[in-house]
Amino acid sequence: MPVLLFMLCCALSPTGSRNLVANPSFEDAFGTPLWPTAWTQLDGGPIELREKGGHTGRRYVHFSDGRTDQGSALESRHAPAIPGATYRMQAFVRTHNECQPGIYIQFHDGRGARISEVHARFPGPWDGWMPFEVRAVAPPEAVEVSALLYAFVGDVGDFDFDDVELVLESWPTSGGVRPAPPYATSRQLESVAGRWASLSSAMPGGKSMVDIGSRLELFVDSFLVDGLAGSAERRLHHPAPQEAVFYFDRPWEGSSSAYVTVMQDTDRIRLYYRGSDLKGTHELTCYAESEDGIHFERPSLGLFEFEGSTANNIIWTGTGVHNFAPFKDTNPECAADQQYKAVAGGPLIALVSEDGVHWRQLVEDPIITEGAFDSQNLAFYDNLRGEYVCFLRDFANGVRAIRRSTSRDFVHWTAPEWINHGTAPPEHLYTNATVPYFRAPHIYLAFPKRFLPERTKDPSHGDPGVSDGVLMSSRDGMHWERWIEGFLRPGPDPRNWTQRSNMICWGLIPSSEREISIYWSEHYCHDSAHLRRGTIRTDGFVSVHAGVPGGEMLTRPFTFTGNSLVVNYATSAAGSVRFELCNEPGEPIEGFAMADSELLFGDEIAHTVAWRGGSDVASLAGRPVRLRVRLEDADLYSFRFAP
């Protein structure tokens, strides 16, 4: 929106109050033919934007109503309303014949639905611009207010509107009615509206300021959230089960096949897993690949013999076949013949490969000896921190737990340290499946299999215990937030309620712009053992959610770099999200207040937020700000400030 128009939008009325109508003089327009910005035609016959001869400025709107069986209506963008407050609307009108158009003050609920209105009918005809006005008191349930220009049903003629004004004249207080103050700020109007509409405000909680630059921020942890109000909460979401993609049904595999790695590698998806059976006759490392993450094929590699034949997909039979866990090395100093690395066995050994298929042991001695390694221990290169990281299994006071070790060269490692789960209770974490989230690598996500050995659902199965998957997140690899609520449930299939099923594979695969594929094992120790694919929304592990009647979230103070605020959100058809940029005390910054925010509804992975003045936030870059979000029947999954 041009600066001149924005100044007009915020112009003061003769009473000194702020005009709530955006683009009141219709000077800002778009499209072919031109249409006035921030105005919507609701019904009726031709309404057009005309040039030259406006009351002020150049443009005005012209109604041409030639039918007696319909009306024509043009509505302004909705603004926040104060229940019990008095509003005054004024517009300049010019008629060309015997018609009598009307002006309306309309009140709406939080979903934008009209709940009441008050109107006045112009006593024309009048040859030349003439002002007329109407007043209305907002009902108790009002959340929004708008101005409406109207040609009544049965009234035929031509007329023009210009310079529309909608202002707050007074609002109720405990001591009576209080006049609207001269030069009322959007914060004053918004705070009063909030109180009288019983909308709770999220208040600062005291967290210190951080710099988030232009990185993507998720709500998988509480790091950014400093205040919640109303029905707002952080809500855990769950993967939606899709098809079974891979059955462990080859002679060299078997019902206890496990410890699966799923790796996106340029044009293919690689699958590594242990092939094993309950009889204990073999343990082998196997390989498959896919172009779409759904249809996997076993290449006939001819590397190792099984039962007299090399027509199989076995890639390793040496030390570490029990829990071989590979990764593609992103270290810029990685040697060409070591582009793929793996940790395996117990104690852990290091393996390397040039192509991800032909493997050799890097050094003779184990690289990490301290731990209890009967699990899918894993390692990867952390590009942000410039080091290799290993997460491995051990026992803490008899409970399966996770330790962390780091290395600069993949050979010499620090002594493993216990990770910190904060206030989460001790639980058996059988695996960990830790990854730097590919869209926000400063955040680690982990998907441990939670094992409950004391529970047995099917006594006839023989082995005790049930399992599910949980979600953890960390920003340093040592301090974690763990959801106690299950991320992956066993579901209705009774064969997933026997020991060690529901093991989430190591690796997330971006299936599309909107969706991530995640995989897990089902039917462990049954003849039908297989992998299932699930899907989850991009960034959609946890959201800030509010139901009805709504709620607010306020972030900690932060600095950013970028020109626009981009959000990943979803609402119901009746839901909405609004945004406000605040200073450190939580007061809105002029031009970026809740009253200036678009009323956003829909379902988008990347939406650029707009206020009345547009979407450019570059003027705030480098300054301490907070983000306030008001939601109703809506979810906010992530945000970032884009260049």
Query: Per the structure block, which two tokens stand in for 172?
Result: 């109720």
Contact between 231 and 547 under an 8 Å Cβ cutoff? The reply is yes
- Answer yes or no: is pLDDT of 13 > 80: no
Distance of alpha carbon 358 from alpha carbon 63, whole angstroms = 76
- Answer yes or no: is pLDDT of 624 > 80: yes
Residue 83 has a pLDDT of 84
DSSP 619: G
Residue-wise DSSP of 73-118? EEEEPPEE--TT-EEEEEEEEEESSS---EEEEEEE-TTS-EEEEE
Q: Which residues contact 188 (CB under 8 A, 6 or more apart)?
A: 181
Confidence band (pLDDT; 50, 70, 90) for 81?
confident
Residue 286 has a pLDDT of 98
Residue 4 has a pLDDT of 24
Region 408-436: mean pLDDT is 97
Residue 10 has a pLDDT of 33
Distance of alpha carbon 82 from alpha carbon 94, whole angstroms = 31
Q: What is the pLDDT of residues 602-617, one digit of tens each?
A: 999 999 999 988 999 9
- Residue 450 pairs in a beta bridge with 429, 468
CB-based burial, 125-163: b 16+ in 10 Å, e otherwise: eeeebbebebebbbeeebbbbbbbbbbbeebebbbbbbb
Element (H, E) at 9: helix 3-9
188 vs 461, residue with greater confidence: 461
Distance of alpha carbon 253 from alpha carbon 530, whole angstroms = 11
Other Cβ atoms within 10 Å of 291 Cβ, number: 11
- Answer yes or no: is pLDDT of 274 > 70: yes
Residue 180 has a pLDDT of 53
* DSSP collapsed to 3 states, 330-353: CCCCCCHHHCEEEEECCCEEEEEE
Q: Do domains 3-183 and 199-236+542-642 have the same CATH topology?
A: yes
Residue 199 has a pLDDT of 52
Give percent of the chain with pLDDT exceeding 70.
92
Residue 45 has a pLDDT of 74
The Cα-based distances of 321 to 258, 314, 331, 502, 540 in angstroms read 11, 10, 25, 21, 34
The CATH number assigned to the domain with range 240-537 reads 2.115.10.20
- Answer yes or no: is pLDDT of 125 > 80: no
Contact between 633 and 601 under an 8 Å Cβ cutoff? The reply is no
Output the CA torsion 13→19→25→27 (10° steps).
Answer: 120
Residue 98 has a pLDDT of 75
Query: Which CATH class, in words, describes the domain spanning 3-183?
Result: mainly beta
Residue 177 has a pLDDT of 55
3-state class (DSSP) for residue 309:
strand
Residue 5 has a pLDDT of 26
Contact between 592 and 581 under an 8 Å Cβ cutoff? The reply is yes
Region 230-238: mean pLDDT is 96
Closest by CA to 553, choosing from 524, 532, 523, 577, is: 577
- Residue 236 pairs in a beta bridge with 542
Residue 84 has a pLDDT of 87
Distance of alpha carbon 196 from alpha carbon 199, whole angstroms = 8
Mean pLDDT of the chain: 90
- Answer yes or no: is pLDDT of 317 > 60: yes
Contact between 341 and 350 under an 8 Å Cβ cutoff? The reply is yes
Neighbouring C-alpha atoms within 13 Å toward the C-beta of 590: 8
pTM: 0.77
Burial of 24 (C-beta count, 10 Å sphere; 0-12/13-18/19+) = buried
Which ranges in 226-269 belong to alpha helices (H)?
Answer: none
Residue 74 has a pLDDT of 93
The Cα-based distances of 620 to 229, 579, 581, 591, 625 in angstroms read 25, 15, 9, 11, 8
- Residue 472 pairs in a beta bridge with 446, 482
Other Cβ atoms within 10 Å of 321 Cβ, number: 21
Rg of the chain over all Cα atoms, to the nearest angstrom: 32
Residue 448 has a pLDDT of 98
613 vs 360, residue with greater confidence: 360
Closest by CA to 595, choosing from 609, 613, 611, is: 611
Spans of all domains in the chain:
3-183, 199-236+542-642, 240-537
Distance of alpha carbon 22 from alpha carbon 612, whole angstroms = 7
- Answer yes or no: is pLDDT of 89 > 50: yes
Determine the residue type at 267. D
Distance of alpha carbon 571 from alpha carbon 599, whole angstroms = 11
Contact between 554 and 204 under an 8 Å Cβ cutoff? The reply is yes
- Answer yes or no: is pLDDT of 340 > 50: yes
Q: Which residues contact 76 (CB under 8 A, 6 or more apart)?
A: 21, 22, 23, 24, 38, 39, 146, 147, 148, 164, 166
For strands 325-328 and 314-316, give the pairing.
Answer: unpaired
Q: What is the pLDDT of residues 168-201, one digit of tens each?
A: 888 765 555 555 544 344 444 444 444 334 456 7
Burial of 243 (C-beta count, 10 Å sphere; 0-12/13-18/19+) = exposed
Q: What is the pLDDT of residues 472-482, one digit of tens each?
A: 999 999 999 99
Q: What is the pLDDT of residues 628-637, one digit of tens each?
A: 999 999 999 9
DSSP 219: S
Confidence band (pLDDT; 50, 70, 90) for 30?
confident
Determine the residue type at 148. L
Distance of alpha carbon 514 from alpha carbon 604, whole angstroms = 9
Residue 7 has a pLDDT of 27
Residue position matching structure tokens 């066993």: 490
Region 136-155: mean pLDDT is 87
338 vs 182, residue with greater confidence: 338
The CATH number assigned to the domain with range 199-236+542-642 reads 2.60.120
Other Cβ atoms within 10 Å of 19 Cβ, number: 21
* DSSP collapsed to 3 states, 164-212: EEEEEEEEEECCEEEECCCCCCHHHHHHHHHHHCCCCCCCCCCCCCEEE
- Residue 178 pairs in a beta bridge with 171
CA angle, corner 93, sides to 143 and 115, nearest 5? 20
Residue position matching structure tokens 């009967």: 374
Region 389-415: mean pLDDT is 97
Residue 632 has a pLDDT of 92
Q: What is the pLDDT of residues 345-356, one digit of tens each?
A: 999 999 999 999
Listed range (385-394, 401-410, 558-567, 610-619) with the worst mean pLDDT: 610-619
Residue 100 has a pLDDT of 83
Element (H, E) at 3: helix 3-9
Give percent of the chain with pLDDT exceeding 90.
75
Region 95-119: mean pLDDT is 86
Residue 537 has a pLDDT of 98
